[in-house]
């Protein structure tokens, strides 16, 4: 080492020095721990080079601004599920009563775990693989499982974007192609398509024109070429958005994250002006209190919290890893969580306003159809005209008049009433009709838009909004795959990203078969939910119980400049793990009690029928769940029995300050020892204790090096305990 270096000067100085190892490595004034981390690892036999383990932070991308980062997190967390899954769950689970369990779980599980993922990503500045290897090497498989789940979700999620692309281009015509049933002409005879006549124009267009769906998952039916092209367009858009990492995706977020709010605001204003909108909104906010105690409602609310905030996917960690060390991630967690919840409520208001309008139209249609039946019975003397109240006018029949007439006929003709085939035509029945997931967007909402003035304009806006919502989520999902792989294996960013998109497109052809929608259901409802729950609970355990909640809180204090609320300590340590354990158990029981299935569209009946997955599909589903969770036990076993190196046998030191980690592992052996211990080699204690990482002065269970306490520096140096030692 040069004689004029600061370390050498200090070594020959008689000045009493009390700085820690981190201070010496700074080669300057005592280190500000808010902007620095000392990482100690070892190297033996040249198996690993520390320079390959740590990226130079000056080469690591960073967000151009705080706004860009917040928009990226919002774009990832606010997705298609906020538009159709949350309103559907509200409709299904008691309207306003569903908001209670959702808010409770958002506070005790969602926000604390979202804050945890933001904090570990920002602190360690790596993707999910690097983060969980750093926190606890034996649980390093969590990061690999997150990548696999992101892959599963990305495969089918981009198919939904492809569907939106198809509808977007079909919206540039008047009337909208799903507003009327097609007519089949045979010479001079014209008849309405039977499948459409039995269902509805929008339902027919979705199942037959868009998906050309088969009757079951066992009937492949070949590729749907229209959707194959749309899937190619969707992956091309995603590829262009993420090919340069956050340099390209960050700019896309300005539009993709903000545009949906413009559209939602326009739809809310338009929806509130529709006839019957108030009926839909009142129906939403009328709570069914019995639903609040239903365990199934709480399970679904917890699952929605996970998906809404993107917990366990790795995208949150990836985005946060590009932040500065002193960024206030606690504020970010609260802000993004609030915006996410606000967006869900806003979307629900829009959906229920539009569905209230649609329900009034369908109710009036029901009244007209049943009034024609009654007139037929009156003309054929099946019913007496004395049963009709004198003030009823069939030319201007209101729902109130029909209801009165219906009740009279039902009372007088009690025994023969069922044979008449009359419907009550209640508005509440129309509002209670739950349309799940894609059906809400591509059937119910599209049908309502056909009754809007200037319907093509609203349709274009709606599906452009869906494309942007999906794009924001896909950027985060791709970051959950690419960031940890690039950080860990140092693969070229652009080549790997393009390769991922090409690979995903070809695998995604599974979802654009005629039976592809049933595979989307399998992946969406089953393959990701259970693995995600396992990942999130293990993340919580790794930080709170293995790494140590007190230690983690101390490091957050150093990083943020203030101590987070004690609330998080108890949530991470006790409440969140308990609730997630209950959720995991409930999910497993639910799979056992209710065998997985899907809603199949039967062409001959023009109706949906619930079918169970066949044996081969169940085997595929179990395989998907196993593949997603398998890295966790595999990595644990390999590292427990020392079959896989965790880097703890190597000796290297990296100093991370601000945005960079400077590797000094290329020092000569004697200089390296003296640099770390500030002693000449003959005075250095031996052997060096096995050690992984030093995270600041708040570390628990420190291990003090041997040596004369009254030696040159008057004190020994403290080394932090490793996560492995706490296992």
What residues are designated binding site? 75, 78, 82, 340, 469, 473
- Max distance between CA atoms of the chain, in angstroms, equals 118
- Compute the distance between CA of residue 103 and CA of residue 78 in angstroms, rounded to an integer: 16
- Find, among 204, 206, 182, the residue nearest to 463 by Cα: 206
- Compute the distance between CA of residue 634 and CA of residue 140 in angstroms, rounded to an integer: 10
With H, G, I as helix, E, B as strand and everything else as coil, classify residue 139. Answer: helix
- Find, among 712, 721, 676, 649, the residue nearest to 53 by Cα: 649
Residue with tokens 């199934």: 296
Question: How far is the CA of 645 from the CAs of 109, 637, 727, in angstroms?
Answer: 34, 12, 16
- Compute the distance between CA of residue 477 and CA of residue 473 in angstroms, rounded to an integer: 6
Residue 38: phi and psi, rounded to 5, are: -100, 125
Count of CB atoms within 10 A of residue 107's CB?
Answer: 15
Cβ–Cβ < 8 Å for 321, 125 = yes
Query: Chain centroid to CA 149: how far?
Result: 10
Half-sphere exposure of 104 (CA within 13 A, CB side): 14
Q: Residue 175: is the preceding peptide bond cis (ω within 30°)?
A: yes
Q: Residue 701: is the preceding peptide bond cis (ω within 30°)?
A: no
Please, which residues have CB within 8 angstroms of residue 475's CB and are 6 or more apart in sequence?
72, 75, 76, 238, 241, 242, 249, 252, 253, 256
Query: Chain centroid to CA 161: how far?
Result: 15
Residues comprising the binding site for Na(+)?
75, 78, 82, 340, 469, 473
Q: Which two tokens stand for residue 283?
A: 């129906």
- Compute the distance between CA of residue 636 and CA of residue 437 in angstroms, rounded to an integer: 37
- Compute the distance between CA of residue 703 and CA of residue 721 in angstroms, rounded to an integer: 6
Question: How far is the CA of 500 from the CAs of 109, 143, 238, in angstroms?
Answer: 32, 17, 11
């Amino acid at each position: 080492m040069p004689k004029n270096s600061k370390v050498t000067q200090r070594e020959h100085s008689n000045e009493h020095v009390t700085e820690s190892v981190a201070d010496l490595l700074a080669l300057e004034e005592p280190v500000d721990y808010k902007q620095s981390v000392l990482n100690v690892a070892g190297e033996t036999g040249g198996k690993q080079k520390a320079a390959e383990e740590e990226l130079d932070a000056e080469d690591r991308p960073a967000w151009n601004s705080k706004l860009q980062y917040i928009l990226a997190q919002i774009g990832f967390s606010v997705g298609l599920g906020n538009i159709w899954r949350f309103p559907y769950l509200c409709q299904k689970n008691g309207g306003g009563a569903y908001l209670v369990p959702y808010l409770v779980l958002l506070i005790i599980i969602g926000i604390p775990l979202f804050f945890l993922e933001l904090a570990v990503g920002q602190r360690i500045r790596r993707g999910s693989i690097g983060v969980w290897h750093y926190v606890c090497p034996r649980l390093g498989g969590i990061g690999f499982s997150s990548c696999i789940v992101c892959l599963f979700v990305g495969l089918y999620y981009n198919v939904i974007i492809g569907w939106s692309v198809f509808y977007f281009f079909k919206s540039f015509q008047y009337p909208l192609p799903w507003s009327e049933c097609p007519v089949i002409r045979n010479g001079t005879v014209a008849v309405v398509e039977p499948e459409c006549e039995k269902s509805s124009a929008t339902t027919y267009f979705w199942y037959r024109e868009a998906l050309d769906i088969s009757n079951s998952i066992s009937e492949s039916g070949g590729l749907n070429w229209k959707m194959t092209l749309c899937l190619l367009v969707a992956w091309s858009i995603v590829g262009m958005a993420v090919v340069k990492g956050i340099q390209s995706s960050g700019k896309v977020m300005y539009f993709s994250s903000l545009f949906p709010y413009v559209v939602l605001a326009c739809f809310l204003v338009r929806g509130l002006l529709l006839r019957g909108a108030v009926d839909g909104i009142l129906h939403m906010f009328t709570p069914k209190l019995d639903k609040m105690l239903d365990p199934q409602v709480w399970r679904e609310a917890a699952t929605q919290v996970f998906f809404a905030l993107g917990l366990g996917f790795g995208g949150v960690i990836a985005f946060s890893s590009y932040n500065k060390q002193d960024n206030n991630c606690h504020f970010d967690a609260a802000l993004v969580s609030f915006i996410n919840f606000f967006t869900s409520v806003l979307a629900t208001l829009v959906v229920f306003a539009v569905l209230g309008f649609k329900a009034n139209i369908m109710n009036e249609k029901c009244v007209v159809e049943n009034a024609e039946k009654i007139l037929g019975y009156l003309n054929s003397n099946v019913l007496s005209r004395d049963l009709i109240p004198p003030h009823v006018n069939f030319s201007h029949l209101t729902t109130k008049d029909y209801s009165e007439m219906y009740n009279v006929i039902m009372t007088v003709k009690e025994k023969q009433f069922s044979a008449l085939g009359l419907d009550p035509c209640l508005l509440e029945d129309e509002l209670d009709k739950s349309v799940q997931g894609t059906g809400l967007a591509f059937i119910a909402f599209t049908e309502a838009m056909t009754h809007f003035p200037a319907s093509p304009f609203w349709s274009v806006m709606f599906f452009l909004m869906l494309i942007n919502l999906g794009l924001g989520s896909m950027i985060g999902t791709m970051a959950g795959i690419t960031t940890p792989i690039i950080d860990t294996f140092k693969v070229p960013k652009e080549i790997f990203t393009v390769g991922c998109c090409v690979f995903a497109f070809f695998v995604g052809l599974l979802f654009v078969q005629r039976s592809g929608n049933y595979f989307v259901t399998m992946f969406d409802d089953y393959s990701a939910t259970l693995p995600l729950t396992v990942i999130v609970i293990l993340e919580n355990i790794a930080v709170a119980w293995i790494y140590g909640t007190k230690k983690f809180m101390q490091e957050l204090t150093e990083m943020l400049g203030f101590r987070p609320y004690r609330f998080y300590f108890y949530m991470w340590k006790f409440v969140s793990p308990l609730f997630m354990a209950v959720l995991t158990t409930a999910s497993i029981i639910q799979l056992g009690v209710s065998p997985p299935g899907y809603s199949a569209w039967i062409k001959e009946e023009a109706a949906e029928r619930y079918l169970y997955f066949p044996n081969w599909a169940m085997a595929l589903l179990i395989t998907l769940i196993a593949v997603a969770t398998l890295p966790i036990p595999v990595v644990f076993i390999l590292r427990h029995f020392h079959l896989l190196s965790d880097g703890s046998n190597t000796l290297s030191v990296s100093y991370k300050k601000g945005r960079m980690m400077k590797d000094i592992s290329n020092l000569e052996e004697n200089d390296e020892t003296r640099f770390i211990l500030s002693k000449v080699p003959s005075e250095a204690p031996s052997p060096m204790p096995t050690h992984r990482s030093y995270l600041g002065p708040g570390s628990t269970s420190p291990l003090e090096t041997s040596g004369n306490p009254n030696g040159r520096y008057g004190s020994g140096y403290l080394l932090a305990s490793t996560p492995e030692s706490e296992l």
